[in-house]
């Protein structure tokens, strides 16, 4: 897949079949659209082109942009779309000025001038241009003038996409990893650098890798204990592990920690990037009055995580 970030130096696409969207999560619903793109490109001897935006439009247009929580960062989205077989991804820098472009200018100076689309695949409710003044009706009125084919994504599919994205976020925030993974079509993941902590886990018999996320906009699942698989950067091997997300109530912690204990692992990985793949939620965090009670519970968590991961490996 070719990734294009400079709108002034786009290639001449071959019979471009384009669609536009944030594609956050690149979940199972999005892949229905991608398959539709592929079919249209195959029928017209063309190339698939997805137009997306960075930063997320809500970060620019909403009064409280810091509330954005992404299912996928831009590098993650790029990797998932490449895996899905998309030919071209165009990352449009989303600015206030871009959002104020008139609908006709968006059509003529952006879509037509830069992409010369053979086919545009768009949702029935897709809006564009200043104050969202443009939509399917403008594209329908102008398609014969500019010679592109217009394919409407039906209402039911668009609503399913919206419901899926909302359900995924809600499921993750509630710790319902199984449902989130089902809707995504893959295990939800996040990545970060391994940083130094206070070495408390080592004293308890469970040394942990403390993660610092690469992008603070990434959605972190609900606080609690999870069975996970991890990958070190540069490796395709997934290692079994258990993870704690929370404020460490037994120690009266004040900052959110992402702590990973990799089973049967004793390498120095400080500074390396670690990707966590969520498999199953085990339990909520709780405060223990005695350290020995905490250790006993950690033993149970580790045993449960190992059992879950063994079952996962058997299924896969």
Decide: 114 and 72 in contact? Cβ < 8 Å: no
Phi, psi of 136 (to 5 degrees): -55, -35
Cite the active site residues.
259
What number of other Cβ atoms are within 10 A of residue 102's Cβ?
15
Output the CA–CA distances (angstroms, integers) from residue 87 to 28, 33, 42, 55, in the order listed: 19, 14, 12, 22
Q: How far is residue 126's CA from residue 119's CA, in Å, rounded to a whole number?
A: 16
For residue 234, the number of C-alpha atoms closer than 13 Å in the C-beta half-sphere is 3
- Among 297, 145, 309, CA closest to 227: 309
Decide: 211 and 258 in contact? Cβ < 8 Å: yes
């Amino acid at each position: 897949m070719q990734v294009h970030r400079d709108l002034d130096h786009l290639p001449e696409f071959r019979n471009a079949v384009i669609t536009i969207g944030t594609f956050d999560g690149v979940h199972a619903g999005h892949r229905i659209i991608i398959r539709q793109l592929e079919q249209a490109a195959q029928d017209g001897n063309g190339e698939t082109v997805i137009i997306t935006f960075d930063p997320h439009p809500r970060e620019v247009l909403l009064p409280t942009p810091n509330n954005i929580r992404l299912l996928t960062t831009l590098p993650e989205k790029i990797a998932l779309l490449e895996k899905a077989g998309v030919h071209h991804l165009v990352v449009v820098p989303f600015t206030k000025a871009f959002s104020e472009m008139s609908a006709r200018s968006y059509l003529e100076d952006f879509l037509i001038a830069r992409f010369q689309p053979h086919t545009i695949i768009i949702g029935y409710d897709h809006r564009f241009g200043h104050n969202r003044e443009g939509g399917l009706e403008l594209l329908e009125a102008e398609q014969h003038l500019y010679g592109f084919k217009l394919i409407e994504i039906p209402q039911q599919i668009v609503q399913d996409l919206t419901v899926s994205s909302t359900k995924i976020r809600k499921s993750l925030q509630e710790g319902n990893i199984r449902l989130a993974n089902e809707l995504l079509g893959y295990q939800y993941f996040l990545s970060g650098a391994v940083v130094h902590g206070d070495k408390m886990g080592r004293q308890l018999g469970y040394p942990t890798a403390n993660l610092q996320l690469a992008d603070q906009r990434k959605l972190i699942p609900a606080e609690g204990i999870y069975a996970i698989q991890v990958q070190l950067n540069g490796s395709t091997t997934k290692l079994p592990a258990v993870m704690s997300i929370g404020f460490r109530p037994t120690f009266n912690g004040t900052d959110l920690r992402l702590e990973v204990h990799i089973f049967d692992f004793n390498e120095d990985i400080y500074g390396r990037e670690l990707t966590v793949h969520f498999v199953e939620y085990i339990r909520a965090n709780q405060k223990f009055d005695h350290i020995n009670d905490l250790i006993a519970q950690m033993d149970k968590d580790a045993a449960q995580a190992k059992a879950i991961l063994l079952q996962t490996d058997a299924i896969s």
